[in-house]
Structure 1
Amino acid sequence: MPIDLYYMSMSAPCRAVLLTAKMVGVEINLKTINLMQGEHMQPEFLKINPQHTVPCLDDSGFVVTESRAICAYLANKYGKNDKLYPKDPKDRALVDQRLYFDLGVFYASFADFYVPIMFRGQTSIDASKRKKWDEAMNYFNTFLADQEYAAGNHLTIADLSLIASASTMEAFIPTIFNDYPKIKEWIERCKSQIADYHDLNQVGANIFGQMGQSALAKIQ
């Protein structure tokens, strides 16, 4: 049976899964769920994922949700080696920490900033939320001070998750990383190392960016 991925291309977490699947060499059957049109609330999807979120992976009846869990599952099951998700406890712990950092700090601070602007009609910048986002970017820039990738000196699933987040931020505000040179260098490094980066990630990020910039243009 094919591996089905329920996803939406403008979603950074969904694109992290696409990148991981490509890097481990597994083919997936894409099933678009349009959140804007409420397709995630349809009964047939709720049977698969009662949490009604994307991404959602169905591997021959085994269903996994939450992008970082899906990335770990794909790397564990289909990876040709453990480079993307190391088996060494210390190395894996660092990758996990960066994944949790993306979930709870890096992408979370961005979501707290953009969701009210794009989807709740907020018409002014919330300075406190922008400060939290800046703090998150500074943390990540510091992580990269003495290493090439998020969890060391080779690419892991932590980078795949974080680059999906970072590219979405950059599409939203193209100059956002100008004060974070290590992040900018890391982004270019990831682009050169990740297979089919543009088609699997940048295209969706750009769609998000167009919507985001349209919303930002209305800010007073």
Structure 2
Amino acid sequence: MAITLYYFAPSPPARIALLAARAVGVDVDIKVVDLFNKEHLTPEFIKINPQHTIPTLDDNGFILWESRTIATYLVRQYGKDDTLYPKNPQLKALVDQRLYFDCDTLWPRIRAIGFPLIWLGETKISEKLRKSLNEAIGFLDKFLHGRKWLCGNNYTIADISILASLSSIVAVGWDISDYPNVKAWLESCKEIPGHDENQAGADAWGDLVRKNLEPGQL
């Protein structure tokens, strides 16, 4: 049986799971769940995932949700080696730290800008939210000082996770000119399998954010 990924392309977390699948080279059957049509709230989907979140993975009856958990599972289960999620305790800890940074700092600050614009009809970005996100991008720029990738000599699931998040706000038109290490890293990320699929989803998210955004907000 095929692995099924319940997916919505504009969703950055959903794209983390897809990028992880592409990176390990495992085939997934993508089932689109349209959040705007509330397909995640159908009885059929809630039976699969009571939290009704996207992405959700069905690996031959093994059901899993939370994007970064899906990514680590796919790498451990199907990865040909430990490049994407190292076994070395120090490298693994560094990857985990970057994943937690995305989960707890970067993505929540991006979401705090995008969610009200997409779902609540807001039209402006407050200065507080703007400064908060730029602070997080500044942290990322420091993480990348002297590095091509976030952890070690190869891209890992930390790069995959942060790429899905950051590419979304960049697609809105966010100015990252003050963060040269981040700009160089985004260019390097074109090497990651599934990059173009992720970019298409990021562009869709960017379009949704800009739809209600007043001119001059970026």
SS of residue paired to 2:160: helix
Q: Which amino acid aligns with 2:195?
A: Y
Change (3 A) 1:58 1:217: same
Is the CA contact (8 Å cut-off) linking 1:123 and 1:218 kept in structure 2? Answer: no
Is the counterpart of residue 157 in structure 1 residue 157 in structure 2?
yes
- Aligned residue for 2:71, secondary structure, equals helix
Matched residue, 1:195:
193
The match for 1:2 is 2
**CA separation in 2, counterparts of 1:27 and 1:127?**
43
Which secondary structure state, in structure 2, belongs to the residue aligned with residue 35 of structure 1?
Answer: coil
Question: Which amino acid is the alignment partner of residue 188 of structure 1?
Answer: E
1:127 aligns with 2:124: no
Q: Does 1:37 align with 2:37?
A: yes
Matches of 1:188 and 1:218 in 2, distance apart? Answer: 28
Size of the aligned set, in residue pairs, is 217
Q: Does 1:212 align with 2:209?
A: yes
What is the root-mean-square deviation of aligned Cα atoms in Å?
1.4
Q: Which position in structure 2 is the counterpart of 1:94?
A: 94
Q: Provide the residue aligned with 1:114 in structure 2.
A: 114
CA distance in 2, matches of 1:58, 1:159: 24
On the 8 A contact 2:57/2:65 being kept in 1, the answer is yes
| TM-score, normalised with respect to structure 1 | 0.94
Give distance in 1, aligned partners of 2:215 and 2:30.
34
Q: Cα offset for 1:166?
A: 1.3
Give SS of 2:36's match: helix
- Report the Cα distance in structure 1 between the residues aligned to 2:216 and 2:56, rounded to whole angstroms: 34
Aligned identity (percent) is 44
Post-superposition Cα deviations, 1:89-128, rounded to whole Å, max 9, x if no partner, equal 1111110110110011111111112211222122332111
**Residue aligning to 2:61:** 61
Determine the C-alpha separation between the residues in 2 that align with 1:218 and 1:46: 39
Q: Is the 8 A contact 2:171 2:202 kept in 1?
A: yes
Aligned to 1:14: 14
